[in-house]
Amino acid sequence: MKKVSNTDWNKLAKMKDSEIDTSDIAELDDDFFKQAVIRVPTKKSVTMRLDADVLEWYKSQGSGYQTRINKLLRSYMDAQLHH
């Protein structure tokens, strides 16, 4: 179950970075970045059959529709892996 955030996101979006209190967040030091690994999954071109209305709806949302479809599929995959 997800907790509901009490953050006022609109107020936060209007604040300057210098106005945001980050004192309770630990600094990321050199050791962190020495061990950090960037994971960028490779993309593979595929051909798949989708319902026409589903594809048109995603395309109507603007550029990046393939990325949004991929994110949805990844979310489902992650949910099944941790099920």
pTM, full prediction: 0.54
Distance CA 66, CA 42 (A): 14
Distance CA 39, CA 42 (A): 9
Q: Average pLDDT, stretch 50-67?
A: 96
Return mean pLDDT, the chain. 92
At 69 the pLDDT is 96
Closest by alpha carbon to 50, among 30, 33, 34, 70?
70
Q: Average pLDDT, stretch 23-44?
A: 91
